[in-house]
């Protein structure tokens, strides 16, 4: 059985190291798993119940919800902006948390990771994302994490997929997420 994992990246910058981690995840997905990097978070308006009306949800938000509904699991990569979650990722989580009680996360497994310039690899932001996604209905896999410090120097000349240690860590977390998703799909 194939498992579909939707990757969301909390940075809009084309050269983002977190985006590069997501690209590496796409390439490193094991057999039986497909990691899809969602494109289009930049186009989604800030969540507002006044525009979240059945039949007139903004197209970009509807596209995100459709991709999330068809996913079996989620892999979220976040930088750390001022010690917390980037607005673009928080906004995606808000859209996916609705409609209340029937959001797209719906008990599906979620792994959160990322990289940041600081010495802890963005763990504050990652913890906040885990909290937010858990409240939004995702089944956060707490013991599956990847936090890579010193992103500016570590990835200055090397893409994460070409960093043997990072590639091994990514392969492991994708395999573990794949296993959790397979259990959820089979249940």
Task: Delimit the domains of the chain by residue range.
Answer: 3-186
User: pTM of the entire structure?
Assistant: 0.95
What count of other Cβ atoms lies within 10 Å of the Cβ of residue 17? 24
Handedness of CA 53, 73, 145, 78 (dihedral sign): negative
Q: Which CATH superfamily is domain 3-186 in?
A: Flavodoxin domain (3.40.50.360)
Residue-by-residue pLDDT tens, the chain, 187 positions = 689 999 999 999 989 999 999 999 999 999 999 999 999 999 999 999 999 999 999 999 999 999 999 999 999 999 999 999 999 999 999 999 998 888 999 999 999 999 998 888 899 999 999 999 999 999 999 999 999 888 988 898 999 999 999 999 999 999 999 999 978 766 6
């Amino acid at each position: 059985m194939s498992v579909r994992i939707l990757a969301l990246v909390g940075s809009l910058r084309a050269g983002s190291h977190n985006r590069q981690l997501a690209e590496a995840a796409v390439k490193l997905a094991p057999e039986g798993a497909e990691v899809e990097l969602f494109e289009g978070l930049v186009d989604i308006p800030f969540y507002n119940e006044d525009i979240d009306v059945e039949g007139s949800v903004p197209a970009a938000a509807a596209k995100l919800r459709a991709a999330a509904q068809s996913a079996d699991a989620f892999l979220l990569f976040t930088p750390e902006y001022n010690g917390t979650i980037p607005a673009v990722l928080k906004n995606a989580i808000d859209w996916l948390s609705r409609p209340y009680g029937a959001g797209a996360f719906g008990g599906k497994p979620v792994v959160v990771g990322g990289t940041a310039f600081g010495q802890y690899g963005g763990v504050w932001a990652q913890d906040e994302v885990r909290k937010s996604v858990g409240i939004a209905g995702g089944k956060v896999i707490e013991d599956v994490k990847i936090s890579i410090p010193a992103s500016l120097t570590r990835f200055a000349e090397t893409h994460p997929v070409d960093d043997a240690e990072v590639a091994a860590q990514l392969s492991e977390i994708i395999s573990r997420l794949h296993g959790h998703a397979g259990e959820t799909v089979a249940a």
